[in-house]
Structure 1
Amino acid sequence: MTVPANNSPLLDAGQIAFMRGGVSISIGSCGADGLPQLVRGIGCRVADDGSQVTIFVPEAKSQQVQRDIFANGAIAAVFTRPSTHRTLQIKSRNARVTALSAADLALVHAYRDAFVEELGTIGFREDMVRTLLAAPDSELVGLSFKPTEAYTQTPGPNAGKPLESGE
């Protein structure tokens, strides 16, 4: 789904709640050479109306993604609930790198706890999940963007189709 001409929200309340939950977050970018880059997100902030998304990433592990964003602003973010494989993909061409606030750090800590709980339901140990998400608060940056496209990517016949309300 691309941004509607009437400026109605691209994401509904249920989709926003899903993105804010204990889901796996992957961010992709691509440089002028066509080489894709990927970094794991460790939490996010989504505006209540879905108009702005900021994904928190370790600065050192996201260097190439940041360079791609500085060069072209393009970003793709995938949100997946591991226990069900429900997946949403959000895209934009206006991403930028931002600093985190104290409120953002609270979201990172809550996200880690929620992701530990989510992966615990499918047998992953807490220490493994916390190691996967480990990064000092002082080394986090935000990748902020206005969503312009949204797709369902849940495996099955609707994967790749524009996101519809209620998915």
Structure 2
Amino acid sequence: MPRLPPDWAAHLQNGVSHRLGGSHADGQPEICRGLAAQALPDGRVEVLLLAKTGEQLLAAAAASGRISYVAAQPGSFRTLHVKGLDAEIFAATPEHAAMFERCRERFIAQVEPLGFTRDFIMSIWYDLDVLSLAGIRFTPCGAWDQTPGPGAGQAIDLLT
């Protein structure tokens, strides 16, 4: 099964901002902010998002299987773009709490030096129960380094 190289897999949990995109069968796009992510041992990528605000994206991904995910680190602008064709939707469980908290704390550490307070970040994104989250799991079928600069857009070789 294709998987991200270790440095990019680790990037998912290093305080990144998460964005998800998908489309319905008719091509109508949907986007949503993600809250936490990880690369699973089998190579799939798992992203958590608020179920209520991601309802349309979740429906589109469930129907089409298509998903696009971007993970950008605010402090360095290092950005990963991954696409999948086999999106699987799931409800978050208490077992996802550790992943959610780890990603939240690393994201807050990234944005506090930029002038955003912990209280502000918690109030707009992270002051919620993990059981209010849903998730998307998918196998990477393509990945690109979208970090601004001369290498932006370069394909990342997936491991098999």
What's the TM-score, normalizing by structure 2?
0.89
Contact 1:112 1:133 (8 Å CA) reproduced? no
Aligned-partner Cα distance in 2 for 1:103–1:21 = 19
Which runs of at least 4 in structure 1 moved beyond 3 Å after TM superposition?
none
SS at match of 2:111: helix
Matches within 5 A, 1:71-110: 71-110=63-102
CA RMSD of aligned residues (A): 1.7
- Give the C-alpha shift of residue 164 in structure 1: 4.6
Matched, 1:126 2:118: yes
Aligned length: 157
Q: Secondary structure at the match of 1:20?
A: coil
Pairwise CA distance, 1:34: 2.6
Q: Which residue of 1 aligns with 2:104?
A: 112
SS in 2 for 1:158: coil
Q: Secondary structure at the match of 2:53?
A: helix
Structure 2 counterpart of 1:65, from 57, 64, 81: 57
Match for residue 22 of structure 2? 29
Conservation of the 8 A alpha-carbon contact between 2:83 and 2:141:
yes
Contact 1:77 1:90 in 2 (8 A): yes
Contact 2:89–2:136 (8 Å) recurs in 1: yes
> TM-score normalised to the size of structure 1?
0.86
How far does residue 45 in structure 1 lie from its aligned partner after superposition? 2.7
Identical positions, percent: 29
Q: Structure 1: which 5+ runs fail to align?
A: 1-6
2:134 to 134, 141, 144: 141
Q: Which runs of 5+ in 2 are unaligned?
A: none
